[in-house]
Structure 1
Amino acid sequence: MINSPEILRLIETATLFRGVPRETLDPLFRKANRVTLKQGEKLLSPDKINENVYIVVSGRLSVQATASTSDKPIATLSPGECVGEMSVLVDGVVSAYVVAATDCELFVIDYESFWLLIDGSNEAARNMLNILVHRVRLGNRIMADNLLYHDSFPDDDIIDGLTGLYNYHGIHRKFDRLILRCKVGKQPLCFIVLEVDGVEKAMDIVRDSHVVQSLRTIAQALLKFLRPDDHAARLVGGKFAVLLANTSLADAFATAERLRATVSETPILLPDGSTLQPETISAGVSEALPDDTLGTLIARADIALEQAIAAGRNCVVHG
């Protein structure tokens, strides 16, 4: 419980509480607590679930991509600003580190109190919408800066030059991020390994332009099935992989089946305008376990793929 009139007046001016009637805030103030952080202490990190919203009362917080205080912050939060609301809105999953840039004092709103406030006050709901708009704009600006940065450097280390998909190194980077979300947020993650039937001809891609176009056609088919958090890669030869975020094994199997059917019905268009008969693919599907590495996940999907090949090809098996 917070009793200090000075602190209460300061908190009332916070962005989240602007225009909210005092009678609406009083129950929140009676239940809320304060926490203090020393400079350099972590408040939030991506490896831990967060169920609180924090209002900065004094000091400054730094939002960072890493835990190192020497890194340039993504944003700095001053008195009256809040943090933690994004993770509360998405099942507690934290997307960045929040570190005390100076000694700090924070007002803490727990999960239940936060939702009671949003549900019970139009003013608070509008304030939260404005905060989220600001967060999205900040995110868009950061992404634009990153695109400018990456345009200055080659992506040869993570992009497959033949198809434009990720290569093994690229999918490994995405896997490391998604498996953490799987562990922390208890969201399912599935992996599809698929191979062009008759893959031995696909291995000789340098001498066979038809095979090159076949692989590119399959890559385009993969991209059509991807959602924003999904990722596809060409691993080697005619073998591809797909990471499906927040997807159950049953849904991943259904996606692989739809992909198999689509590929088998899509003619291969050659640069001269002529077409080849569609390819067929075999696929293996596996679901990530909390202690999985990319290697163990691929291994299980590979076993399922071998079973699909043994069953006559042009089919999907889950492990």
Structure 2
Amino acid sequence: MTHDSLFSTAELETVPLFRFVPLECIEGILAHCTAQELPRGERFEPDGPLDRSLSVLLSGRLALHYDVRETNDPLFLEPGDIIGETFSAGEPGVPCLLVAAEPCRVLVMEEDLIWSLAQASHAAACNLLGILLRRRHDPSRESFAGTAREYALHDQSIVDPLTGFQTRRWLEGVLERQAGRAASSGKPLSLMMIDIDHFRAFNEEHGRIGGDRALHAVSKALRNYLRPTEVVARYGGDTFAILLPETGVATARMIAERLRQRLTNTVIDIHDGRMLPPLTISVGVAEAAVGSDSLTLLRGALEALDAAKASGGNAVSG
């Protein structure tokens, strides 16, 4: 890890979530996580809903008390435990209380960063799935099994099955949070909207299989080219949205132009002996203005996309 990282390699290597994960590959994600320090005797108070973030105990021990009353015989969380699991696994309808039994450090990863982690590292995605499944099949954790089923149903509405990216519904929540974060920190935030040029005609000529292969090609290019901290969603149809935290519009335009060039040279194999023609894309880019909200940023990026398409396509505007 870099010298200015919030988290040391030694403490991260004790976390099951990061087992077999090359930490240098997720430095950008970890840089956006936060560290919460708890002195002995202090209660753990999450900043928001636990289903919108993931909190991992890095060091120390947390005493778990049910029914928000401190007892003489609590359960203990050890380094590497995911705190959100404990709250979800409590008795139905019975609130829990977590108190630092000794000084603790907690890594907090927000929802959008969790998805970025899963996209950036196959090992991390498998680790998280394994943690969930182990809890689900533990007879003493029946309440968590119900929570896992609720997550699965929730995921169906926020993950696009064709591309593996999140959906417009998910993006809108993340966009609002990121816009608020940018406004409070004063750091830039840009949004990129992408359309595949003449996609309807492409579908008519090459059929649904060809259209799906085209969407796969764009998804693969986005996944391979962008950094893990850049949030990608399928906005609808052949439209993709890319959220670029801490990125000004000039840099966003440069990224968009390189992505446009990359896709122009992509050959699509339809796996039946045919090779489809290369794609072109139109890209609209906008930066959040001081004091503006997420809807204004989205509207600006969509207007820039319309301008790129009106110019004949295969262009970047904004």
Q: Same fold (TM over 0.5)?
A: yes
Give 1:256 deviation, angstroms. 0.4
Q: Partners of 1:237 and 1:55 in 2: how far apart?
A: 46
Q: Superposition pairs for residues 1-319 of structure 1, below 5 Å?
A: 56=39, 59-66=41-48, 76-78=98-100, 81=103, 145=131, 149=148, 153-154=152-153, 155-201=155-201, 207-289=207-289, 291-318=291-318
The CA deviation at 1:228 is: 2.1
Cα offset, 1:198, TM superposition: 0.7
Structure 1: how far apart are the matches of 2:227 and 2:167? 18
CA–CA separation in structure 2 for the residues paired with 1:269 and 1:199: 17
Give 1:263 deviation, angstroms. 0.5
Question: Structure 1, residues 151-180: CA drift from partner, whole Å, max 9, x if none?
Answer: 961422011222221110122232233223
Letter in 2 for 1:275: M
- Displacement of 1:285 in angstroms is 0.3
Relative distance call for 1:165 and 1:206 in structure 2 (3 A) is farther
Contact 1:54–1:82 under 8 Å retained in 2: yes
**How many angstroms does 1:80 deviate by?**
5.4
Structure 1 residues 237 and 76, CA, compared in 2 at 3 Å: closer, same or farther? same
1:62 partner letter: F
Assess, with a 3 A threshold, how the Cα gap between structure 1 residues 177 and 60 changes in structure 2: closer, same or farther: same
Shift in Å, 1:208: 2.5
Structure 2 CA distance for partners of 1:183 and 1:73, relative to 1, 3 Å: farther
User: In structure 2, do the counterparts of structure 1 residues 253 and 212 end up closer, same or farther at CA, with 3 Å as the change threshold?
Assistant: same
Aligned residue pair count: 217
1:165·1:233 contact (CA, 8 Å) conserved in 2? yes
Please tell me whether the aligned partners of residues 38 and 100 of structure 2 are also in contact (alpha carbons under 8 angstroms).
Answer: no
More displaced 10-residue stretch of structure 1: 224-233 or 174-183: 174-183
Once residues 270 and 247 of structure 2 are traced to their aligned partners in structure 1, the CA distance between those partners, rounded to angstroms, is 34
Distance 1:76 1:222 in 2: 41
TM-score by length of 1: 0.56
Deviation at 1:95, TM superposition (A): 6.8
Higher radius of gyration, 1 or 2: 1
Distance of aligned partners of 1:177 and 1:204 in 2 relative to their CA distance in 1, 3 Å threshold: farther
Distance 2:246 2:149 in 1: 27
Instruction: State how far apart, in whole Å, the 1-side matches of 2:166 and 2:152 are.
Output: 16
Distance 1:255 1:233 in 2: 17
Residue 190 of structure 1 deviates from its aligned partner by 0.9
SS in 1 for 2:163: coil
1:223-276 deviations in whole A, cap 9, x for unaligned?
Answer: 112222211122222211111122121111111001100000001111224311
Q: CA RMSD in A?
A: 3.9
Q: 1:235 to 1:287 in 2, by over 3 A?
A: same
Looking at structure 2, the residues matched to 270 and 182 of structure 1 have their Cα atoms a distance apart, in angstroms, of 42
Deviation, structure 1 residue 294: 3.7
3-state secondary structure, aligned to 2:152:
coil
Unaligned runs of 5+ in 1: 1-51, 88-93, 97-139
- Identity score, percent: 27
Alpha-carbon distance, 1:199 to partner: 3.0
Conserved 8 A contact 1:205-1:212: no
